Amino acid sequence: MAVYSDAPSAVTAYSCYHCGNQFQYEPIRSMLFKDKDFCCNGCKSVYELLEEKGLCQYYQLNDHQGQSFAEMRADLRFGYLDEPAIANSLLSFQSNERAVVNFHLPQMHCSACIYLLEHFHKLVPGVLVSRVDFPRRQLRLDFDPRQLSVRTIVETLTAIGYEPQLNMAVNEKKASDKESRHMLYRIGIAGFCFGNLMLLGFPEYLADDGLNSPMIERAISILNVLLIIPVVTYVSKDYYVSAWAGLKQRTLNIDVPISLGILALFFQSLYETISAIGPGYYDSLGGLLFFLMLGKYLQRKTFDRLSFEHDYRSFFPLASLRLVDGKEESVNIAQLVPGDHVLVRNEEIIPADAVLVSDKTLMDYSFVTGESHPVEKFRGDILFAGGKVIGGAVEAEVLKPSSQSYLTQLWNDEAFKKAANQHYQNITDRISKVFTPLVLSLAIGGFIFWSFTSFSVAITVLVSVLIIACPCALALSAPFTYSTMMHRFGLQHLYLKNPDVIDRLTRIDTIVLDKTGTLTHTDLQTIDSTRLHMNEEEQEWVKTACRNSTHPLSKLLYQHLSGKGNAKVDLFDEIKGRGISAVINGHAVTIGSRSFVMEGLPQTGSPGLTTVYIAIDQVVRGYVSFTNAWRKGLEEAAAQLSANYRIVILSGDNDSEAPRLRQMFGAQTTMYFNQSPTDKLQRIQQLQSLGHRVLMVGDGLNDAGALKKAEVGMAVAEDSTQFSPASDAILEGARVPFLPALLQYAKSSKIILRNNLFMSLAYNVVGLSFALSGSLSPLVSAIMMPLSTITVVTLAVSQAHYRASKLDKQLVR
Amino acid sequence: MEIIAFLMGVSLLVAAFFLYAFIKSVKSGQYEDDYTPSVRMLFEDQQEETNP
């Protein structure tokens, strides 16, 4: 695209009406709506489209900035969707006049997005219904397949800024849905029974002689039994199953005493009812199960919209273009075999390890390594699967099937499979290991002791010990504490896969850090321009050329150079992925990659760095190199972390930053450079075999193995909707320096749980003394059991909130 | 006193109805997305909305 223009005399900042981006060049104005500025034709077209369909309410709702659109065009990239087999694999329902497709749209971020997407049927005729599930970032579209193809839908969505994530994992239905429904049924049924049992138990407390009506008392007893049956069967089923599974493996888990408590309470009540000696503990039992179910539900509630289980399939495309006798055909990437020639176009992902057949290309490995600068590749070079092509289409010959690529082979690694099956003992399990045998031996001991004097007293003692010692408070305090903490972590942009992760975080002693993309920004860079020699006038020309480019490196160079950047532009041409060639003030200015600026220029910059060469009037003036900037506040964080943990740094890059890292993290830090994904996995394994418990913090697919292998794998993402490899936690990039404070908060869970444990033990001791003295009146136990539950839950939640508010204060700087 | 037995039956029935409604609402997926409907109801031009 060549643009001839006179630069304006002063730099004015404009703000795009559509996407809100700030820009400094001449705004594009619509023919119809002259008062609005747009940063590009894409934004203008979307605005005009929305205006025409009367959907401008979008802009009133849009309080954040909107989606920025590169270009509005028929997208060649989605050509493979014309292949019926591939298009149909996306549909969840299909008939002659109706088809249903679900898309994952990670770009959705505000209510305006919902508005626009739910009015999609107005934009595209043939769409029957569009429904957004915002927490999951999903769009369900019902459309008429006679009028509309999947490809058109995908292209339109992409054009308005919501490019669907199309990948091999898209059709895997969430299995957790069914389970969480059952959880809700259980809460509903437990609540129903609990409420009614409370009501039916009410007359019992009124007077010593009850209602004085044997008929009604019998009716109440029968209703009590009827109402408790679903509670001890359907609602508590999971406890029996888990206790039995534990016993079969010869372990006494927390569910054993809970199950025994439930059953003891049930049979004791049944016995009292049948022999008409008392009212039983039906309401207590109902309440107990209701609260236990609530706790379980909270524990299950996770960050639904985030996916922690990505494997390589959710990253790779659905299909690839195979060249057969010079003709292109779309094939599923699983069908690619070594020797196939594939055509990969701009912005597409290399589907399998391959050898470049075309002359040269630029590869963006940011998803793989976190490194944001594209790398130049030449004919015969190996392109690793997962890299993104920048620039023109390239042809490559497949070396290995997709599933055995350099990166994806990690998923076939033996150690990796074992890691997935690793059973983890959480804090409740650890406590119950001591607690359960204690309670059981106390109950049996009491039973044996009393059976010498009276068998019926012995039975009573056995049952009441089991009832009172039922560790419901213990079973409840952990889920309530952890789920509150998980919520507070979420507010700090640390998202945890499940509450167990908090417990594991408290136990780590070693932190393994990736460098690029984790300790450094992925985008912002610092410039080293010591090898650049230009006078002020020349700087002014280069600055002017940079001003006309939107490329991130041009923007950085623009900020770095002195001058105003207002020289006269005679000719400007930007070649995507290569550089700028312009004529400024009558002088030819070339800025870009080595081979672009001058063919055969010797490599001078260090190979790990991104280097931009500058030539004026065909004379090379030198180069500037860019390095990733360290994250803000990292130094402080590094000092705190290395004071409390053993730090290991694993980097795929060269060791040029080693001295700086050592200065920040201290001399005792272990560092490894030039690490392959498998190396990283093995380093973690090595540390674990030495008895260390490891937290791995990293981004990119090359850390995937290490993230999965470590006790806690924390993926760093610039934005939580962005792709991140399988992990236990997702941390927003800018929050990496907050890691010490966040770990501190996770550690405070130990104190909270200890306090709660003390509380519930106190209850148990008081209760047991009542039980052993033989004066356990139904009134006392009926009041004490729900009361202890509620106290413990309230205490857990309020402590977690209190500590979190301290954390918040610490983090607001 | 018989009236109490009657009342108990009625209250149980009412509660059972709510339990039924709750289970029905879970089954229909109302608890799966608890955010979007709250935004959807604020959009103004709803005259053409077609619900599945």
Q: Is the pLDDT of residue A419 over 60?
A: no
For chain A, say whether B13 makes contact (Cβ under 8 Å).
no
Q: What are A35-60's pLDDT values in tens digits?
A: 777 776 667 777 777 777 677 667 76
**Quick one: closest CA in A to B49, which residue?**
A129
How far apart CA A715 and CA A732 sit, in angstroms, is 8
**Quick one: closest CA in A to B36, which residue?**
A134
**Domain spans, chain A:** 2-61, 76-159, 175-300, 315-412, 494-520+631-744, 523-629
Task: Report in angstroms the alpha-carbon separations of A272 from A279, A282, A284, A708.
Answer: 7, 11, 15, 53
How far apart CA B8 and CA B16 sit, in angstroms, is 12
Q: What is the DSSP letter of A17?
A: T
Q: Which helix (H) or strand (E) holds B26?
A: helix B2-27
Q: Which of A57, A131, A134 sits opposite B44 (nearest CB)?
A: A57
For chain A, say whether B37 makes contact (Cβ under 8 Å).
no
Length of chain A: 813
Strand locations in A718-805 (E):
729-732
How far apart CA A355 and CA A620 sit, in angstroms, is 32
Does the beta-carbon distance from B23 to A185 stay under 8 Å? yes
**Helices (DSSP H) in A380-491: which residue ranges?**
414-421, 427-451, 455-469, 472-491
* Contact residues, chain A, for B26 at CB < 8 Å: 181, 184-185, 188
Same fold, A315-412 and A494-520+631-744: no
Q: What are A497-527's pLDDT values in tens digits?
A: 877 888 889 889 999 998 877 888 766 566 6
Q: Is the pLDDT of residue A280 over 70?
A: yes
Does the beta-carbon distance from A220 to B22 stay under 8 Å? no
Taking one residue from A and the other from B, the number of pairs with CB-CB distance under 8 angstroms is 71
Residue A293's closest CA among A334, A243, A235? A235
CB atoms near residue A539 (< 10 Å): 18
Chain A interface residues facing chain B, Cβ-Cβ under 8 Å? 54, 57, 111, 114-115, 118, 122, 128-129, 131-136, 142, 177, 180-181, 184-185, 188-189, 192, 195-196, 199-200, 211, 213, 215-216, 219-220, 223
Does the beta-carbon distance from A181 to B27 stay under 8 Å? yes
Residue range A149-156: mean pLDDT, rounded: 85
For chain A, say whether B15 makes contact (Cβ under 8 Å).
yes
How far apart CA A476 and CA A301 sit, in angstroms, is 15
Does the beta-carbon distance from A181 to B26 stay under 8 Å? yes
pLDDT confidence bin for A114, thresholds 50/70/90: confident
For tokens 């795009």, name the residue.
A16
Q: Which of B12, B16, B39 sits opposite A114 (nearest CB)?
A: B39
Q: What pLDDT score does A70 carry? A: 45
Counting Cα atoms < 13 Å in the Cβ hemisphere of A7 gives: 25
Q: How far is the first Cα of chain A from the last one, in angstroms, to the nearest whole number?
A: 46
pLDDT confidence bin for B21, thresholds 50/70/90: very high
Q: Which of B1, B27, B40 sits opposite A114 (nearest CB)?
A: B40
How far apart CA A249 and CA A642 sit, in angstroms, is 40
Q: What pLDDT score does A410 carry? A: 61
Looking at A186-200, A261-275, A402-416, which range is the least confident one?
A402-416
Does the beta-carbon distance from A223 to B12 stay under 8 Å? yes
The pairing of beta strand A510-514 with beta strand A694-698: parallel
- Do A728 and A713 touch, CB atoms closer than 8 A? yes
pLDDT confidence bin for A422, thresholds 50/70/90: very low
**Interface predicted TM-score of the whole assembly (ipTM), two decimals:** 0.84
Does the beta-carbon distance from A220 to B11 stay under 8 Å? no
For chain A, say whether B16 makes contact (Cβ under 8 Å).
yes
Q: What pLDDT score does A774 carry? A: 59
- Do A336 and A320 touch, CB atoms closer than 8 A? yes
* Contact residues, chain A, for B40 at CB < 8 Å: 114, 118, 132
Q: Return all residues near A515 (Cβ < 8 A) that are at least 6 apart.
A: A649, A650, A651, A652, A653, A657, A661
Residue A227's closest CA among A259, A257, A201? A201
How far apart CA A505 and CA A768 sit, in angstroms, is 35
Residue B10 lies in a domain: yes
* Contact residues, chain A, for B19 at CB < 8 Å: 188-189, 192
CA distance A121 to chain B (A): 10
Q: What are A179-209's pLDDT values in tens digits?
A: 778 889 999 999 999 999 988 877 776 655 5
Contacts 24+ apart (CB under 8 A), A432-435: A432/A252, A432/A253, A432/A254, A432/A256, A432/A257, A432/A471, A432/A474, A433/A251, A433/A252, A435/A254, A435/A257, A435/A471, A435/A474
**Quick one: closest CA in A to B8, which residue?**
A200
* Contact residues, chain A, for B43 at CB < 8 Å: 57, 115, 118
Does the beta-carbon distance from A134 to B35 stay under 8 Å? yes
CB atoms near residue A369 (< 10 Å): 24
Topology (CATH) of A76-159: Alpha-Beta Plaits (3.30.70)
pLDDT confidence bin for A743, thresholds 50/70/90: very high
Residue A471's closest CA among A436, A512, A517, A511? A436
Counting Cα atoms < 13 Å in the Cβ hemisphere of B46 gives: 7
Q: What are B1-12's pLDDT values in tens digits?
A: 678 778 888 989
CA distance A53 to chain B (A): 12
Provide the 3-class DSSP secondary structure of residue A227: helix
Q: Which of A57, A129, A196 sits opposite B12 (nearest CB)?
A: A196
CATH of segment(s) A494-520+631-744: 3.40.50.1000
* Contact residues, chain B, for A114 at CB < 8 Å: 36, 39-40
| Burial of A46 from C-beta contacts in 10 A (0-12 / 13-18 / 19+) | buried
- The residue among A63, A109, A184 with the most chain B CBs within 10 A of its CB, best to mutate, is A184
Counting Cα atoms < 13 Å in the Cβ hemisphere of A490 gives: 16
CA distance B10 to chain A (A): 12
Residue range A211-225: mean pLDDT, rounded: 81
The pairing of beta strand A569-575 with beta strand A579-584: antiparallel
Of the two residues A668 and A470, the one the predictor is more confident about is A668
* Contact residues, chain B, for A123 at CB < 8 Å: none
Residue B39 lies in a domain: no
The CATH class, in words, for A315-412 is mainly beta
pLDDT confidence bin for A412, thresholds 50/70/90: low
How far apart CA A18 and CA A56 sit, in angstroms, is 10
How far apart CA A300 and CA A498 sit, in angstroms, is 7
How far apart CA A316 and CA A351 sit, in angstroms, is 6
Q: What are A574-625's pLDDT values in tens digits?
A: 776 678 888 888 888 888 877 777 776 666 655 556 678 888 888 888 888 7
Topology (CATH) of A523-629: Calcium-transporting ATPase, cytoplasmic domain N (3.40.1110)
How far apart CA A752 and CA A798 sit, in angstroms, is 10
Q: Output the six-digit token pair for A657.
A: 């930053």
Sign of the Cα torsion A75, A78, A79, A82 reads negative
Of the two residues A365 and A197, the one the predictor is more confident about is A197
Residue B51 lies in a domain: no
Q: What are A522-581's pLDDT values in tens digits?
A: 665 666 777 777 888 888 888 888 877 767 677 778 877 877 777 888 888 877 667 888
Q: What pLDDT score does A278 carry? A: 75
* Most confidently predicted of A125-139, A473-487, A787-801, B13-27: B13-27
Does the beta-carbon distance from A142 to B4 stay under 8 Å? no
* Contact residues, chain A, for B30 at CB < 8 Å: none
CA distance B44 to chain A (A): 9
Name residue A254's amino acid.
I
Does the beta-carbon distance from B1 to A136 stay under 8 Å? no
Q: What pLDDT score does A658 carry? A: 82
Domain that holds residue B26: 2-31
Q: Is the pLDDT of residue A780 over 70?
A: no
Query: b/e string for A716-750 if b means 16 or more Cβ within 10 A?
Result: bbbebbebbbbbbbbbbbebbbbbbbbbbbbbbbe
Q: Which of B26, B39, B51 sits opposite A185 (nearest CB)?
A: B26
* Contact residues, chain B, for A220 at CB < 8 Å: 8
How far apart CA A512 and CA A530 sit, in angstroms, is 34
pLDDT confidence bin for A6, thresholds 50/70/90: very low
**Quick one: closest CA in A to B28, which residue?**
A181
Provide the 3-class DSSP secondary structure of residue A739: helix
Q: What are A655-667's pLDDT values in tens digits?
A: 777 888 888 888 8
Task: Report in angstroms the alpha-carbon separations of B27 from A13, A102, B20.
Answer: 53, 20, 11
Provide φ and ψ at A265, rounded to 5°. Answer: -60, -40
Q: Which of B23, B39, B45 sits opposite A111 (nearest CB)?
A: B39
Q: What are A57-72's pLDDT values in tens digits?
A: 677 666 544 555 444 4
* Contact residues, chain B, for A115 at CB < 8 Å: 39, 43
Residue range A313-321: mean pLDDT, rounded: 70
* Contact residues, chain A, for B27 at CB < 8 Å: 181
CA distance A162 to chain B (A): 17
Domains: count for chain B: 1
Residue B26 lies in a domain: yes
**Quick one: closest CA in B to A178, which residue?**
B27
Of the two residues A27 and A676, the one the predictor is more confident about is A676
Q: What percentage of chain A carries pLDDT values higher than 70? A: 79
Provide the 3-class DSSP secondary structure of residue A27: coil
Provide φ and ψ at A394, rounded to 5°. Answer: -125, 155
For tokens 């908060």, name the residue.
A745
Q: Return all residues near A149 (Cβ < 8 A) that are at least 6 apart.
A: A81, A82, A87
CA distance B30 to chain A (A): 10
For chain A, say whether B43 makes contact (Cβ under 8 Å).
yes
Q: Which of B15, B35, B44 sits opposite A196 (nearest CB)?
A: B15
- The residue among A50, A60, A111 with the most chain B CBs within 10 A of its CB, best to mutate, is A111
